[in-house]
Chains A and B, each alone.
Chain A
Amino acid sequence: MTGAALLVRALRDPDGLGDCDWNALIASARAEQLIGSLAFRLEGRALPLKVEAILDCARRDALQARTQALWEAEMTRRALAPLGIPVVLLKGNAFHAAGLSASVGRSVGDLDILVPRESLEAVEAALLGAGWERLKEADGYDDLYYRRWMHELPPLIHRTRDRMIDVHHNILPTTARPKPDAAALIADSVALESGLRILSPTDIIVHAAAHLFADGDLAGGLRNLWDIDRLLRDFARDPGFWERLGERARLHQLRRAVGLALRLAERLYLTPVDRRLAGRRRPSDRLFAARLLARNGWGQPVRPLLRLAFYVRSHWLRMPPLMLARHLWVKAGR
């Protein structure tokens, strides 16, 4: 066993690891952005000295990344406070801000926030006024594409802190078939002490599942699925959680993505899940699992055809066929 499969086994059962191909484990964990999570998962276990030194660094690095992520969220809060609108943190930033188990060792890239659609212009203006800059050329194809079809503004980057922010008004592109209820996402969000908000527990799962299985080509999917595992183990302690999750998944038209997320989390990370909500195993589950595990012990992506198929699928999910044709035409012309 090498690469991604070894990484999954180490996360799932840190005590049963024994002596393994450490180079393969570390390279895979770095490639999948799970080195911090792995480092905390293996903390306190008897490991070879060199492995311990590498993971100790990864832990310190993750704590520093956490500090930076929280600071970026705080700077954004200050920039948007005068607008008096709800600002909902999404994904990694939300996990860190709320101190969920999924935040332990988790890397954070961009800051993702959700705001009411009618406030988008005001939010963009406030950010531009507070030191963020446009990354995409204004009024170019990409810029217009984002504004017209995507669920987020074109990314902005902060001039001095060099950090990106993605401002969402929904959790899936406008062109995708499922239409999540953005107003309900915001109405049910939960306030943190800072005044920033996070989605309700059920909506956090729905969003994670949508992000992984209803959008994108599963790149970095092992980390997103690890999030789902940690989140479900936190949230499922609440009585009635699974029923509420089912209701919210239906409301946001994401039953299938949520079912798939539950089945894959169970399959790879042995996450305890609600059988009824997870649904029957499907033959295609194997393909999803194979795609998630398509990395070898050198950290190299493998199974190029399978990867390509999921790449094509991601575009198929994101937009109707004619629009896809036009989009690819413009991109090919560059």
Chain B
Amino acid sequence: MKHSLSLQIGPVAFRIGSAWPKPLAALADLYAGYPEPDGICDFTVRLEPETAWRRWFRPSVAIHGDYVLPDAAPMSLAHGLLAAEMGMNLQMALGQKRYLLLHAASVEKDGRALILTGESGAGKSTLAAMLGERGWRLMGDEFALLDLEDGRLRAFPRAVSLKNGAIKVMERTVPADRFGPLLEGTPKGAIRHLRPRADALAAMAEPARPALILFPRFGEAAEARAVGQAEVFMRLTQASTNYVSLGGAGFDALTGLVAACPAAAIDYPDAATAIATVDALWEQVG
């Protein structure tokens, strides 16, 4: 491909090719300070025009690569950075078979991990980003990687994808040089990416033992309730993109996780309440 870039994110290396220079320049800026892969990559992502003439005329970016969604809509070139991010997510969701993939954010303290999972819009990215600025190591906001062999969690600290209201919240406390460009009018509204702290990147190769699973829900009166193992198991099968395709290995990893970790559903009206609730629950498992 005309332009290319390699990225190492936790244990996963990506090779990203693009027909245009712009998306990769934005990606290189956002991922400044990440380690270089050693040359051999787990996945290839391609950003290319749907048809040859779409390279120049009303350019639109089709997200292709090793694994492809057949009917994914192409994106505007202005959102090329987002296309690259989605391309990497897609490879993970469809092609990653070394880890049980949970659609979850995770943070670490003292070698132990807190997993935050819930539906899109539940606020897990924002909550993880905030915890990442308050003494926790951010392991990732999109995918938690559960090692099938040893049951430990591996970090996948991509840039955090902040949406709409969460952008302002984080801009207040985080220096401007850790943000990507503001992308307006995407299918999910306004998006701005946030690079994790340098210490989180330096520690990206260190796994953590899962210690607590939380199901946060933003916009409700403050409440926390314990969640039983059967419900946790069912919710996590739904939060996993590769549980079914891993077969028995996926079942063993997931039941191991559920048996080892207490879990709670937390509702929160605002960030301060969420953080106080997380701290209190973390005290209990400590």
Q: Do A and B come from one complex?
A: yes
Q: In the complex, A93 Cα to B98 Cα: how many Å?
A: 25
Q: Which residues of A contact B97 (CB under 8 A)?
A: 57-58, 60-61
Q: Are A64 and B247 in contact (CB under 8 A)?
A: yes
CA–CA, A22 and B15, complex, Å: 12
The distance in angstroms between the C-alpha atoms of A318 and B71, with both chains bound, is 26
Contact B66 A67 (CB under 8 A): no
A163 to chain B: closest CB distance in Å?
Answer: 11
In contact, A61 and B13 (Cβ under 8 angstroms): no
Chain A residues, CB < 8 A from B40? 22-23, 48, 50-51, 54
Residues of B within 8 A of A60 (CB): 97, 249
A31 to B15, CA, bound (A): 15
Cβ–Cβ contact A27 & B245, under 8 A: no
Q: Among the listed A31, A53, A67, which residue makes an inter-chain contact with B247, where contact means beta carbons less than 8 Å apart?
A: A67
Distance of A228 from chain B, by nearest CB (Å): 25
Partner of B46, one of A30, A53, A299, A304: A299
* B17 is an interface residue with CB less than 8 A from chain A: yes
Contact with A along B197-222 (1 / 0, CB 8 A): 00000000000000000000000000
- Give A31 to B43 CA distance when docked, in angstroms: 12
**Interface residue? B67 (CB, 8 A):** yes
Of B41, B46, B247, B249, the contact of A300 (CB 8 Å cutoff): B46
Residues of B within 8 A of A48 (CB): 40
Interface residues of A in 30-62 (CB under 8 A from B): 30-31, 48, 50-51, 53-54, 57-58, 60-61
Q: Which B residues touch A26, using CB under 8 A?
A: 44, 66
Does the CB pair B245–A64 fall under 8 Å?
yes
CB of B66 within 8 A of CB of A27, answer yes
A145 within 8 A of B: no
Chain B 51-78 near chain A by CB (<8 Å), digits 1 or 0: 0100000000000111100000000000
Q: Beyond A23-B40, A64-B245, A67-B247, is A31–B66 a contact (Cβ under 8 Å)?
A: yes
Task: Specify the main secondary structure of chain B where it touches its partner.
Answer: mixed
Say whether chain A's binding surface is mostly helix, strand, loop, or mixed: helix
Residues of B within 8 A of A141 (CB): none
Restricting to B83-108, which residues have a CB under 8 Å from any CB of A? 95, 97-98
The residues of A that contact B50 with a CB separation of less than 8 Å are none
Q: Residue A311 at the B interface, CB < 8 A?
A: no
What 0/1 pattern do residues 1 to 33 of B give for CB contact below 8 A with A?
Answer: 100000000000101010000000000000000
B147 lies within 8 A of chain A by Cβ: no
Chain B min CB distance to A71 (Å): 10
Residues on B with C-beta less than 8 A from A50 are 13, 38, 40, 42
A235 within 8 A of B: no
Query: Which residues of chain B have C-beta atoms less than 8 A from A67's C-beta?
Result: 247
With an 8 A cutoff between CB atoms, is B48 at the interface? yes
Q: Which residue of A lies closest to B37 (CB)?
A: A50
Residue of B nearest to A31 (CB): B66
A202 to B38, CA, bound (A): 47
Given contacts A22-B40, A31-B66, A57-B98, contact A298 B249 (CB under 8 A): no
With A23-B41, A31-B66, A53-B98 known as contacts, the answer to whether A298 contacts B17 (CB < 8 A) is: yes
- Smallest distance from the beta carbon of B53 to chain A beta carbons, Å? 12
B246 CB-CB contact with A under 8 Å: yes
B205 to chain A, nearest CB (A): 14
Task: Give the docked Cα–Cα distance between A295 and B232 (Å).
Answer: 44
Residues on the A chain within 8 Å of B15, using CB: 23, 27
Interchain nearest-CB distance for B128 vs A (Å): 27
Q: Is B38 a contact partner of A298 (Cβ separation < 8 A)?
A: no
Of chain B, the residue at the smallest CB distance from A63 is B247
Beta-carbon contact of A298 and B44 below 8 Å = yes
Among A75-133, those with CB < 8 Å from B are: none
Q: Which residue of A lies closest to B99 (CB)?
A: A57
Write the nearest CB–CB distance from B228 to chain A, whole angstroms: 25
Measured between alpha carbons, how far is A50 from B6 in the docked complex, in Å? 15
Contacts of A58 in B (CB 8 A): 97
Query: B24 CB to closest chain A CB, in angstroms?
Result: 14
| Residues in B224-276 with C-beta less than 8 Å from chain A | 245-247, 249
20 A-B pairs within 8 Å (CB atoms) are namely: A22-B40, A23-B39, A23-B41, A26-B66, A27-B44, A27-B66, A30-B95, A31-B66, A50-B40, A54-B40, A54-B42, A57-B97, A57-B98, A61-B97, A298-B1, A298-B17, A298-B44, A298-B46, A299-B46, A300-B48
Please give me the 6 A-B residue pairs with the lowest Cβ-Cβ distance, nearest first: A50-B40, A30-B66, A64-B247, A27-B44, A57-B97, A22-B40
Beyond A30-B67, A50-B42: 11 further Cβ-contacts under 8 Å? A23-B44, A26-B44, A26-B66, A27-B44, A58-B97, A60-B97, A68-B247, A299-B44, A299-B46, A299-B65, A300-B1
